[in-house]
Structure 1
């Protein structure tokens, strides 16, 4: 459940990583496939930055090295799966905007599935572009503190010149935000500093968030869980405000 605050990603809930490990592996394998396909079947991470980024994300979810290599080998072969990206915009219950990004090998199946999930959770699927103005596209880089030699202040100074616009200092992680256009610059800067991100991706950050009562907020979490359980869904973005009360309830439920 990607979004704007440190509580906003459902993947960070206690127990969620182990529970959804298979889904995470599927997600990064698709990311590897698309990175290779969109770069003329280039399976060399040294000359394919998108693939290098996908490999970093695979390591971030503890995918074994041999599994990563098999995914690269398959994606560069004649029998590679053919995936394409799709996005969907709509509203969940209580007026919350939902942006769903998918990677699929069957567009008809994905459209039907996304529409069904919206409907079953009292939401509605909108037209493409109808909600895009509510979100800013940003590069988001998560760094594990234990893998860094630099302190936070030094790191900030090093990365501002590469386009860092905002930082979050959490218990175990530093999170860096960049504009969409500086995503590649930041990737190159971290590489030059020999810093391997735990995760790096483009996210849609809501310009404003909506706070709901706990019971209504849980309706949105259930909707997002349903999307994230779908094999075709890569990311779900929203403008629900993740309050301390909701964060505590999610921790309790996980």
Structure 2
């Protein structure tokens, strides 16, 4: 998973900037909506909702926005009905791309995605065309500067919490779990006093795809364009490129 770590190291530095984007509240509210729609409006009984609420609070989403999203999902307020969908395709140079969306109009969303891929040298594909290249995993980051635990101690605590794997890179412990073990591992590490820099369920590429500098720069434009779309929740890819190019995404 070293390639994934390389990408996530850059993504961590970008989190503070992303949190300032105007659309982040809407995207997080949609996460809450779909989690409550699927599993009920009680975070204590719905781990997906609890995770979505935690992410929203970490980004300073007001409590009234969180409550409103839950009430819409449970029928206490009128609102749009959203669908959670995943689109797959290829970016420039054959880079695998998966796009998670939450939309109340899938025809509009598909059209916008198709335009973005086409404009930047890629193309949307059929369902399943790249999904086999990714694994869904829990992903937790603990900055070494926030703990006195050495690597051996950290590894032991991660294993006891139900973690599957741990890597140390760029001043951080990166922890991977199976999706079903994520919530319990997260809670155990928090109870042990650790501050989690990142805690999410995400898609990990099994292998990375090298691209020429020209294609990598096109890929930067594609990912940035996708992430600017209101319906897009997450963009996953397996691009391998120099850090100075990846940091532009």
- TM tier relative to shorter chain: 0.7 to 0.9
Is the CA contact (8 Å cut-off) linking 2:101 and 2:234 kept in structure 1?
yes
Equivalent position of 2:70 in the other structure: 72
Is the CA contact (8 Å cut-off) linking 2:158 and 2:166 kept in structure 1?
no
Is the CA contact (8 Å cut-off) linking 1:56 and 1:197 kept in structure 2?
no
Whole-angstrom CA distance in 2 between matches of 1:148 and 1:66: 33
Superposed CA deviations along residues 167-208 of structure 1, whole A, max 9, x for unmatched, are 34444x543211234224324434544656444322111111
Specify the SS of the correspondent of 2:210. coil
Structure 1: gaps spanning 5 or more residues: none
Q: 1:202 to 1:155 in 2, by over 3 A?
A: same
Offset at residue 16 of structure 1 (A): 3.1
54-63 or 131-140, larger mean C-alpha shift: 54-63
Equivalent position of 1:123 in the other structure: 122
Whole-angstrom CA distance in 1 between matches of 2:119 and 2:93: 14
Equivalent position of 1:13 in the other structure: 14
105-114 or 10-19, larger mean C-alpha shift: 10-19
Whole-angstrom CA distance in 2 between matches of 1:46 and 1:71: 16
Whole-angstrom CA distance in 2 between matches of 1:59 and 1:143: 18
Is residue 28 of structure 2 the alignment partner of residue 28 of structure 1? yes
Whole-angstrom CA distance in 2 between matches of 1:144 and 1:50: 24
Is the CA contact (8 Å cut-off) linking 2:167 and 2:174 kept in structure 1?
yes
Is the CA contact (8 Å cut-off) linking 2:209 and 2:240 kept in structure 1?
yes
Equivalent position of 1:4 in the other structure: 4
Specify the SS of the correspondent of 1:86. strand
Offset at residue 53 of structure 1 (A): 0.7
Is residue 166 of structure 2 the alignment partner of residue 166 of structure 1? yes
Equivalent position of 2:221 in the other structure: 222
Whole-angstrom CA distance in 1 between matches of 2:176 and 2:156: 14
Is the CA contact (8 Å cut-off) linking 1:7 and 1:242 kept in structure 2?
no
Aligned pair count reads 244
Whole-angstrom CA distance in 1 between matches of 2:223 and 2:164: 29
Equivalent position of 1:60 in the other structure: 58
| CA-based RMSD | 2.8
Specify the SS of the correspondent of 1:4. helix
Equivalent position of 1:114 in the other structure: 113
Offset at residue 38 of structure 1 (A): 0.7
Structure 2: gaps spanning 5 or more residues: none
- Please give the residue correspondences for 1:63-212 in structure 2 after superposition, counting only pairs within 5 Å: 63-76=61-74, 77-143=76-142, 153-161=152-160, 162-171=162-171, 174-190=173-189, 192-193=191-192, 197-212=196-211
Equivalent position of 1:241 in the other structure: 240
Specify the SS of the correspondent of 2:166. strand
Q: 1:18 to 1:204 in 2, by over 3 A?
A: closer
